[in-house]
Structure 1
Amino acid sequence: MARRTTTGKSGTARRSAAARRPEVRLPPLVPYGGELEPDGDYDGQEFGGLDLADQEGPGSRFIDCALRECGLDRTDLGRARFIDCVIEGIRGVGTDLGGASLRDVEVVDARLGGVQLHGAVFERVLIRGGKIDYLNLRKAKLKDVVFEGCVLAEPDFGGAELERVEFRDCVVKDADLSGVRMKDVDLRTVAELGIARGIDRLAGAVISTAQLLDLAPAFAAQIGVRVEDGPGG
């Protein structure tokens, strides 16, 4: 497993762990053509090109499943569980996944707005490509999660726990990090990093020198330092 070096509070270098990525190998899948049901049990099925808008499937379990090119506007999947799944090309506004659990899941090219994932649990999850606006991850737990090549506009990580989380070649705009706890979070390759709130919660993250310079005014404001040019400057 790859390692990266960071510097602890004592000034001594330590090795921090990289995120473990999911390894999803789907079996032959059976096409699914019905509607979602509360507490549904879906095993080895493919949801392809379905319009699941306004359907209700809270508490459902998806094992070895694929959801491809599905519409999820206002779909209720609260407390759903996704295990060894591929989720590709989904789109939706107001999708409710509050309290959901994702383990060994790949999410590819999602186009979502206002998706609710508060209190969710992610373990070995890859989110690659796509754009997610107003992602609500308040009080979620993320462990071994990679965000890669995606755009996150105004994501809310308030009170979340992030361990071994990597943001690779992403755009992160106006993130809310209020109350976040981080351990081994890698932000160094973020293409654009904007933090609206909670810049003081970056302890446990590693950033690049260029990012440090970009964030310097916000760090100074956080500790009450006023930056002004000197006389004649």
Structure 2
Amino acid sequence: MPVPRTLSELPYAGHLTPFQGSLGRESDLDGVHLDGESFDGIDAGSVRFTESAVSSVTFTGGRMRRARFNEVWMHTVRFVATDLVETTWMDTEIIAGSLAGLELFGSELNRVAFHNCKLDSVNLRAATLRNVSFTDCLLRDADFAGARLDRVTFPGSTLEEVRFAKARMTGVDLRAAARLGIVDGAESLRGATISTLQMMDFAPVFAQSLGITVKDR
């Protein structure tokens, strides 16, 4: 199970400098530390974060389409109704974050780790997730419809009203999830691994997806 790192454990921690100035379109933030900032309705499309840290920062609304997050460490960050469509996330760690009403449609996440995060009404339709872990997270009303999931895990996480319609899965491991509350897309779990107990609990959903009526008499 992935263990979250502290700020001081980052290989680039000694090179971080405090964030100064403004955050706008195509801004290039390399080796900066954003701490305690609040951004409301920003227009920061195609902004680039590289080897940076973001702690206790709130993003409310705004557009950050096609932003790039490469080797970014985030702690207690809040994203509320922010447009993050077609963003790219690589080697990024998000700890104790709160993501609500996000648009992550068509985004690419590669080697991304979520720890103790809450994802509420997050749109990940048609997104690509490779080597992504959700550890001890709450995913409520998350939508993975049409997404591609490759080597994605959910250890200790609770899934509530999650949708996987027409998703494609390879090496997805759901066995360690605390709860599998999947309301759509049971037929798309081909390529996923679940436990025997989960299979028993999930049987009615599978039957419904296959059009099977189960009656004792």
The 2-side partners of 1:99 and 1:224 are apart by 35
Tell me, yes or no, if structure 1 residue 186 matches structure 2 residue 173. yes
Q: CA deviation at 1:92?
A: 3.0
- 3-state SS, counterpart of residue 171 of structure 2: strand
- 3-state SS, counterpart of residue 219 of structure 1: helix
| Residue in structure 2 matched with residue 26 of structure 1 by the alignment | 12
Tell me, yes or no, if structure 1 residue 159 matches structure 2 residue 146. yes
| Residue in structure 2 matched with residue 7 of structure 1 by the alignment | none
- 3-state SS, counterpart of residue 44 of structure 2: coil
Identity of aligned residues (%): 35
The 1-side partners of 2:191 and 2:110 are apart by 18
| Residue in structure 1 matched with residue 185 of structure 2 by the alignment | 198
The 2-side partners of 1:140 and 1:220 are apart by 27
- 3-state SS, counterpart of residue 103 of structure 1: strand
Q: CA deviation at 1:24?
A: 5.4
| Residue in structure 2 matched with residue 172 of structure 1 by the alignment | 159
Among residues 194, 197, 209, which one is paired with 1:210 in the alignment? 197
1:179-230, CA deviations, whole angstroms, 9 ceiling, x for partnerless residues? 1000000000110111111100000000011110111001111222211224
1:61-104, CA deviations, whole angstroms, 9 ceiling, x for partnerless residues? 11011111101110321100011110111113201111000010
Kindly indicate whether the alpha-carbon contact (under 8 Å) linking 1:111 and 1:130 is maintained by their aligned counterparts in 2.
Answer: yes
Tell me, yes or no, if structure 1 residue 69 matches structure 2 residue 56. yes
Residue 86 of structure 1 aligns with an amino acid whose one-letter code is W
* Deviating more after overlay: 33-42 vs 195-204: 33-42
| Residue in structure 2 matched with residue 116 of structure 1 by the alignment | 103
Runs (5+) with no aligned partner, structure 2: none
Kindly indicate whether the alpha-carbon contact (under 8 Å) linking 2:157 and 2:178 is maintained by their aligned counterparts in 1.
Answer: yes
| Residue in structure 2 matched with residue 93 of structure 1 by the alignment | 80
The 2-side partners of 1:199 and 1:226 are apart by 16
The 2-side partners of 1:154 and 1:25 are apart by 35
Residue 12 of structure 2 aligns with an amino acid whose one-letter code is L
TM-score normalised per structure 1: 0.87
| Rg larger for | 1
